[in-house]
């Protein structure tokens, strides 16, 4: 069984929800990313999303865009990030998910990409700019290698489209809580509860909510309705703004984990 499935099953049995922080791989450098993954795990993370830096991150707001540019300026690349994951696997079994645009996968080669995921220990893949209607080969290779393919449901998704997304998703379904790009927001959308309930009525797969969750209070509110809570920009912002970010990320992540786990 995939590590992602194990985590959701384990925490569900404990009546707890899953905390999924996001960081940009290579920001500010790859060595720091390795340290951050281990720190996030010690701070209560259950799964870690690693953003693959890309020159045209159309789904991301200013915070993650800036992180991608910092990572690229330090020559972060997909093969270097795979190698980092391979090194991390000597120290941790935490599920790791790549969030990447389709272009880097296409350039690397689809089959080679999924074989590398399996070889180095990447458990799942999210490709926000790949329409589910065009994802057949991605899903096929994911099933062949045991790598989860996670698709996004938007607040504007029709019920017909949601059915297709949950059918092709594995690991979990990613609900984008608000329209637009990634970024911390002051409040959660009023239609979030209804939309998550619609998704959950169509599948038994876990549903995780991301895009806009910015503090422990919001994370706690999301955990009441979803199986997992994804926090990205709020953490990436801490990494990008000061030299003492390890301590600040540890403190912030521990507060998020406590809120999401209900402890």
CATH code (residue 126): 3.20.20.70
Q: Is 137 a catalytic residue?
A: no
Position 125 scores a pLDDT of 98
* Side-chain half-sphere CA neighbours of 87 within 13 A: 13
Mean pLDDT by 10 residues, the chain (263 residues): 94 97 95 97 98 81 87 94 98 97 95 98 96 95 98 94 96 82 56 93 96 89 95 91 84 97 84
Instruction: Return phi, psi of residue 35, to 5°.
Output: -65, -40
- Rounded to an integer, what distance in angstroms lies between the CA atom of residue 69 and that of residue 131? 25
Position 212 scores a pLDDT of 78
Strands 124-126 and 148-150 turn out to be parallel
Position 18 scores a pLDDT of 98
CA 260 vs CA 96, 117, 184: distances in Å: 19, 28, 17
Residue with tokens 């920001």: 27
* Side-chain half-sphere CA neighbours of 154 within 13 A: 13
Position 245 scores a pLDDT of 86
Contact 91, 38 (CB under 8 A): yes
Of 82, 93, 69, nearest to 120 by C-alpha is 82
Position 22 scores a pLDDT of 96
Position 183 scores a pLDDT of 41
Contact 236, 22 (CB under 8 A): yes
**Number of domains into which the chain is organized:** 1
Give me the catalytic one of 5, 27, 46, 49: 49
Q: Is 60 a catalytic residue?
A: yes
Strands 152-153 and 148-150 turn out to be unpaired
Bridge partners of 97? 49, 124
- Rounded to an integer, what distance in angstroms lies between the CA atom of residue 84 and that of residue 96? 12
Q: Residue 187 belongs to what domain range?
A: 3-261
pTM of the model: 0.94
Give me the catalytic one of 27, 60, 123, 227: 60
């Amino acid at each position: 069984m995939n590590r992602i499935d194990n985590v959701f099953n384990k925490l569900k049995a404990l009546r707890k929800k899953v905390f999924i922080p996001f960081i940009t791989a290579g920001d500010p450098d790859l060595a720091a990313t390795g340290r951050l993954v281990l720190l996030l795990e010690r701070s209560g993370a259950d799964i870690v999303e690693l953003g693959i830096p890309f020159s045209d991150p159309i789904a991301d707001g200013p915070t993650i865009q800036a992180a991608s540019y910092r990572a690229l300026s330090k020559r972060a690349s997909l093969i270097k990030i795979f190698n980092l994951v391979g090194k991390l696997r000597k120290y941790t079994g935490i599920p790791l998910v790549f969030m990447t645009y389709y272009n880097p996968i296409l350039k690397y080669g689809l089959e080679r990409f999924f074989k590398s995921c399996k070889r180095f220990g990447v458990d799942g893949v999210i490709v926000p700019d790949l329409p589910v209607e065009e994802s057949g080969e991605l899903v096929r290779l994911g099933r062949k290698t045991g790598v989860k393919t996670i698709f996004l449901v938007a607040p504007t998704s029709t019920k017909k489209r949601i059915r297709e997304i949950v059918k092709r998703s594995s690991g979990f379904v990613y609900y984008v809580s608000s329209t637009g790009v990634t970024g911390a927001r002051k409040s959660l959308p009023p239609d979030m509860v209804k939309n998550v309930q619609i998704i959950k009525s169509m599948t038994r797969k876990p549903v995780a909510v991301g895009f806009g969750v910015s503090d422990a209070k919001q994370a706690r509110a999301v955990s009441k309705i979803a199986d997992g809570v994804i926090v990205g920009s709020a953490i990436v912002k801490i990494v990008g703004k000061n030299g003492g970010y390890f301590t600040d990320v540890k403190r912030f992540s521990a507060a998020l984990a406590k809120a999401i786990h209900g402890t």
